[in-house]
A and B are shown apart, each in its own frame.
Chain A
Amino acid sequence: MSVDTRKVIKNGYRVTRTRGKTALRIRVPGGHLETRFLALIDRIASQYGDGTAHITTRQGFELPGIDFERIPEINKLIRPLIESLGLSVEVGDSGYPAAGTRNICACIGNRVCTFGNDDTTGLAREIERMVYPNNLHFKIAVTGCPNDCIKAVMNDFGIICTVEPLYDPSRCISCGACVDNCAKAVTGALSMKDFSVVRNPDICIGCGECIRKCPTGAMRRSSSKSYRLVVMGRTGRKNPRIAQTFLKWADKEAILAVIRNAYGYVERHIDRTLDKEHVGYIVDRTGYQVFREEVLKDVTLSNRAIVAQHIQWGGYRYTSDAGFR
Chain B
Amino acid sequence: MGYQLSREQFDSFLARLQEEYRVFGPAVDVDGGALADTDRITYKEVRCLGDLELNRKSYFSPKEIFYPVRETLFRFCQGDTTEPQIDGKKTAIFLRPCDINGIDRLDAIFLKNGPLEDFYYKRRRDKVRFFLIECTTGFDSCFCVSMNANRTELFDVALRFGDEILADVKSPEFEPYFAGLAQKPFEVRFIEKNSKEVRLPGVADITPDLFEHELWKEYSARCIACGRCNTSCITCSCFTMQDVSLGAENQMGERRRIWAGCHVNGFADIAGGHGYRQQKGDRMRFKTMHKIYDYYLRFGKHQCVGCGRCDDVCPQYISFAGCINKVSDVAAER
Whether B31 and A174, one on each chain, are in contact in the complex, defined by CB atoms closer than 8 angstroms, is no
Asked if B32 is an interface residue, CB under 8 A from chain A, the answer is: yes
Interface readout for B243-261 with A: 1 if CB under 8 Å, 0 if not? 0110000000000101111
Contact of A169 among B70, B226, B266 (CB under 8 A): B70
Residues in B227-268 with C-beta less than 8 Å from chain A: 227-228, 230-231, 242, 244-245, 256, 258-261, 264-266
Total count of chain B residues near the partner, CB < 8 A? 30
Whether B69 and A215, one on each chain, are in contact in the complex, defined by CB atoms closer than 8 angstroms, is no
Asked if A307 is an interface residue, CB under 8 A from chain B, the answer is: no
Comparing A116-124, A230-238, A296-304, the segment that makes contact with chain B is A116-124
Asked if B36 is an interface residue, CB under 8 A from chain A, the answer is: yes
Whether A217 and B34, one on each chain, are in contact in the complex, defined by CB atoms closer than 8 angstroms, is yes
Residues of B within 8 Å of A4, CB to CB, are: none
Asked if B214 is an interface residue, CB under 8 A from chain A, the answer is: no
Contact of A114 among B35, B40, B69, B230 (CB under 8 A): B35
Whether B258 and A119, one on each chain, are in contact in the complex, defined by CB atoms closer than 8 angstroms, is no
A305 to B40, CA, bound (A): 28
Residues of B within 8 Å of A116, CB to CB, are: 35-36
Interface readout for B52-72 with A: 1 if CB under 8 Å, 0 if not? 000000011000000011100
Asked if B37 is an interface residue, CB under 8 A from chain A, the answer is: yes
Residues of B within 8 Å of A223, CB to CB, are: 31
Asked if A212 is an interface residue, CB under 8 A from chain B, the answer is: yes
Whether B34 and A110, one on each chain, are in contact in the complex, defined by CB atoms closer than 8 angstroms, is no
Whether B260 and A212, one on each chain, are in contact in the complex, defined by CB atoms closer than 8 angstroms, is no
Instruction: Write the nearest CB–CB distance from A116 to chain B, whole angstroms.
Output: 6
Whether A174 and B228, one on each chain, are in contact in the complex, defined by CB atoms closer than 8 angstroms, is no
Whether B70 and A177, one on each chain, are in contact in the complex, defined by CB atoms closer than 8 angstroms, is no
Asked if A257 is an interface residue, CB under 8 A from chain B, the answer is: no
Contact of A214 among B34, B245, B260 (CB under 8 A): B34
Whether B231 and A170, one on each chain, are in contact in the complex, defined by CB atoms closer than 8 angstroms, is no
Whether A221 and B36, one on each chain, are in contact in the complex, defined by CB atoms closer than 8 angstroms, is yes
Whether B37 and A119, one on each chain, are in contact in the complex, defined by CB atoms closer than 8 angstroms, is yes
Residues of B within 8 Å of A163, CB to CB, are: 36
Residues of B within 8 Å of A213, CB to CB, are: 226
Residues in B50-106 with C-beta less than 8 Å from chain A: 59-60, 68-70
A211 to B264, CA, bound (A): 17
Determine the residue in chain A with the shortest Cβ distance to B72: A170
Given A175-B227, A208-B36, A211-B34: A170 and B69 interface contact (C-beta under 8 Å): yes
Contact of A172 among B32, B40, B70, B260 (CB under 8 A): B70
A171 to B69, CA, bound (A): 5
Whether B36 and A216, one on each chain, are in contact in the complex, defined by CB atoms closer than 8 angstroms, is no
Whether A173 and B261, one on each chain, are in contact in the complex, defined by CB atoms closer than 8 angstroms, is yes
Asked if B42 is an interface residue, CB under 8 A from chain A, the answer is: yes
Given A169-B70, A215-B230, A217-B42: A174 and B36 interface contact (C-beta under 8 Å): no
Residues of A within 8 Å of B245, CB to CB, are: 194
Instruction: Write the nearest CB–CB distance from B218 to chain A, whole angstroms.
Output: 21
A217 to B29, CA, bound (A): 11
A216 to B31, CA, bound (A): 15
Chain A interface category by residue count = 20 to 34
Contact of B32 among A114, A117, A119, A220 (CB under 8 A): A220
Determine the residue in chain A with the shortest Cβ distance to B258: A173
Whether A170 and B34, one on each chain, are in contact in the complex, defined by CB atoms closer than 8 angstroms, is no
Determine the residue in chain B with the shortest Cβ distance to A145: B36
Interface readout for A25-68 with B: 1 if CB under 8 Å, 0 if not? 00000000000000000000000000000000000000000000
Given A170-B70, A172-B70, A173-B231: A216 and B259 interface contact (C-beta under 8 Å): yes
Whether A194 and B35, one on each chain, are in contact in the complex, defined by CB atoms closer than 8 angstroms, is no
Instruction: Write the nearest CB–CB distance from A142 to chain B, whole angstroms.
Output: 14
Whether A216 and B69, one on each chain, are in contact in the complex, defined by CB atoms closer than 8 angstroms, is yes
A184 to B154, CA, bound (A): 48
Asked if A195 is an interface residue, CB under 8 A from chain B, the answer is: yes
Residues of A within 8 Å of B261, CB to CB, are: 173, 175, 215
Residues of A within 8 Å of B231, CB to CB, are: 173, 215-216
Residues in A188-222 with C-beta less than 8 Å from chain B: 194-195, 208, 211-218, 220-221
Residues in A111-141 with C-beta less than 8 Å from chain B: 114, 116-119
A170 to B60, CA, bound (A): 15
Contact of B34 among A161, A195, A212 (CB under 8 A): A212
Residues in A220-268 with C-beta less than 8 Å from chain B: 220-221, 223
Whether B259 and A217, one on each chain, are in contact in the complex, defined by CB atoms closer than 8 angstroms, is no
Whether A217 and B60, one on each chain, are in contact in the complex, defined by CB atoms closer than 8 angstroms, is yes
A221 to B33, CA, bound (A): 8
Instruction: Write the nearest CB–CB distance from A185 to chain B, whole angstroms.
Output: 13
Instruction: Write the nearest CB–CB distance from A240 to chain B, whole angstroms.
Output: 32
Whether A221 and B31, one on each chain, are in contact in the complex, defined by CB atoms closer than 8 angstroms, is yes
A215 to B260, CA, bound (A): 11
Residues of A within 8 Å of B242, CB to CB, are: 174, 195
A115 to B68, CA, bound (A): 29
Determine the residue in chain B with the shortest Cβ distance to A195: B242
Given A194-B244, A215-B230: A173 and B70 interface contact (C-beta under 8 Å): yes
Residues of A within 8 Å of B244, CB to CB, are: 194-195
Determine the residue in chain A with the shortest Cβ distance to B38: A110
Given A118-B36, A213-B226, A217-B40: A173 and B31 interface contact (C-beta under 8 Å): no
Instruction: Write the nearest CB–CB distance from B217 to chain A, whole angstroms.
Output: 24
A220 to B33, CA, bound (A): 8
27 residue pairs bridging A and B, Cβ less than 8 Å apart:
A118-B37, A119-B37, A171-B70, A172-B70, A173-B70, A173-B227, A173-B258, A174-B258, A176-B266, A195-B242, A195-B244, A211-B34, A212-B34, A214-B34, A215-B226, A215-B228, A215-B230, A215-B231, A215-B261, A216-B231, A216-B259, A217-B34, A217-B59, A217-B60, A221-B31, A221-B32, A223-B31
Shortest 4 CB-CB contacts between residues of A and residues of B:
A215-B227, A110-B36, A215-B231, A215-B228
Given contacts A194-B245, A212-B35, A220-B34, 9 further A-B contacts (CB under 8 A): A110-B36, A117-B36, A172-B70, A173-B264, A175-B227, A208-B36, A215-B227, A215-B228, A217-B42
Interface residues of B (CB under 8 A from A): 31-37, 40, 42, 59-60, 68-70, 226-228, 230-231, 242, 244-245, 256, 258-261, 264-266
